[in-house]
Amino acid sequence: MNIRQEAYQIIIKVLKNNDYADILLQQAIKKIHDSNENVELMYRLVKGIVKMQGNLDYICRQFTEPDKYIKTDLKIKALLYLGFFQLIHLDSIPEHAAVNETVEIAKKLYGDKTGDFINAVLRAYLRNPKFQYPQDLAERMAAQYSYPLELIKQWLPLWGEEETEYLCLYFNEPAKLHIRVNNLATSKSKLLEYFKKRDVEFTESPASHNIIITTHGPKVLQDVAFSEGYFTVQDTSAALVVELLDPRENESILDLFAAPGGKATYIAERMKNTGEVIAVDKIPNKVKLIKQTMERLQIDNMKLVTDDAFHYGPVAPAFDRVLLDVPCSGWGVFGRKPDLRWQYHQNIDELLRIQANALNLGANFVKAGGYLVYSTCTMNPQENEEQIERFLKSNKQFKLVNASDFIPVGYTRSGMMQTFPNIHNMDGAFAAKMQKKPKER
């Protein structure tokens, strides 16, 4: 199996059809049964090239005729990406291997003429690998770090030059895998011991007791301990949201935007299979993913509902706690989801409207004295603290609960949970916990 060719085929599918890189990688790994190094190289190539597409395009334009390059088919451009990515962003690959193997794939798939073109462009770069990025700050960052220009223009006033630069660089590194120990099936010490015997190193998260972190993601995901349900994949920031919610045994909990179920299954697990967790999501295929995870983790206190949250009912204050993990711009997960940064043109006004409506909806389901947690995986203040401030202003029966009473203070700001990727070494996320006024006696 030619690992670069396999990676190239996946890249084409992701860039052309918007297919999910992770799902295609998982399918490819099952098929190829290759060594760990090769599997890791395939992950690096696919995720790295999808992330760095903007940067690679910029570089390709410097070493081709720009007018012709614009009209070049994506299949040919992707071969150039494959070559340039190895030459510029992967230290471990010798130059001759990067060029020769890419040219081989080009010849095999599209004939000698294409192979010669790829060879000429890559060798022109090797002969004189000098080129300049734009002078303008935002344009330079967009080209060099591979982000949509509009996004950089939005980030610079929020975080300043230095912080934005660190953030851009952080997301371009291969993301570490965070996994959550399933305490219904094992314990953290047993799982660490198990992986130690298999030469997989983990570090313990300083933020959440149940999370351990590794750089050997592909190997860990293929391990039988995953299919047997001893752990599941969850970023530390997502686990912190559930720890902030702080579900208790025998309670009834509503999760209105639940799929693929990372948080809902952690809620259920923390309740030790008692009480009831109702998990609602409107996309049937994603609800199936919750079901699979539930079964794998041996969880049986969850009820799954495939419905639009805004139609779910009866609307009544029947729940001890309600989680609103709303759709958002996803800035916080750009490191793990390589394609997300290129879908930047989502309609932010529409997202803001859904989020505000979700807060009003969720509030109606909370019992007197119960709790409402609103969370996102973005660092965008408009979708985070500004939503909460507006909600609290017009819903006087709710008050903010101090997040640092539930999670370590270092991951909070102004009483709310806020994580920043390059500062906290986890995804960027936000959560606010609010309590509904208890019944007057």
- Report in angstroms how near the CB of residue 322 gets to ligand SAM at its nearest: 12
**Using CB under 6 A, which residues numbered 351 to 380 contact ligand SAM?**
none
Q: Which of residues 143-162 bind ligand SAM (CB under 6 A)?
A: none
Min CB(357)–ligand SAM separation in Å: 9
Which backbone phi and psi does 338 adopt, to 5 degrees? -60, -30
List CB contacts of 181: < 8 A, sequence separation 6 or more: 187, 188, 191, 210, 211, 212, 230, 231
Give the shortest CB-178-to-ligand SAM separation in angstroms. Answer: 13
Residue 70, Cβ density class (10 Å: 0-12 exposed, 13-18 middle, ≥19 buried) = exposed
Nearer to ligand SAM, 89 or 263 (CB): 263
Judged by beta carbon, residue 206 or residue 327, the one nearer ligand SAM is 327
In angstroms, the CA 390 to CA 370 distance is 20
Of 13 and 282, the one with the shorter C-beta distance to ligand SAM is 282
Between 285 and 298, CB nearer to ligand SAM = 285
Q: Based on CB atoms, which residue is closest to ligand SAM, 44 or 270?
A: 270
Please tell me the count of residues contacting ligand SAM according to CB under 6 A: 18
258-317 residues near ligand SAM, rule: CB under 6 A? 258-263, 280-283, 286, 308-310
CB of 263 to ligand SAM, least distance (A): 4
- Per CB under 6 A, which region of 46-54, 58-66, 218-226, 252-260 contacts ligand SAM? 252-260
Record the tokens describing residue 336, joined without a space. 């793990």
Nearest C-alpha neighbor of 273 from the set 242, 301, 298: 301
Which residues participate in catalysis according to the annotation? 377
Q: Is 238 in the site for ligand SAM (CB under 6 A)?
A: yes
Nearer to ligand SAM, 143 or 239 (CB): 239
Residues 6+ apart with CB under 8 A from 159: 167
Shortest reach from residue 76's CB to ligand SAM, in Å: 35
Identified binder of ligand SAM from the candidate list 81, 125, 195, 257, rule CB under 6 A: 257
C-alpha–C-alpha distance, residues 399 and 437, integer Å: 8
**Class of residue 408 by CB neighbours under 10 A (exposed 0-12, middle 13-18, buried 19+):** middle
d(CA 251, CA 412): 26
Instruction: Kindly write out the interface string for residues 325-344 of this chain, putting x where it contacts ligand SAM by CB under 6 A and - elsewhere.
Output: x-x-----------------
CA dihedral 406, 409, 410, 416 (to 10 degrees): 70
Nearer to ligand SAM, 170 or 312 (CB): 312
| Smallest distance, ligand SAM to C-beta of residue 258, A | 5
Q: Minimum CB separation from ligand SAM for residue 37, in Å? A: 31
CB of 261 to ligand SAM, least distance (A): 5
Query: How far apart, in whole angstroms, are the C-alpha atoms of residue 54 and residue 140?
Result: 12
Phi-psi domain of 417 (left: phi exceeds 0; alpha: psi -120 through 50; beta: other): beta
Rank residues 131 and 310 by Cβ distance to ligand SAM and give the closer one.
310
Q: Which two tokens stand for residue 318?
A: 């029947």
Residues in the site for ligand SAM, rule: CB under 6 A?
238, 257-263, 280-283, 286, 308-310, 325, 327
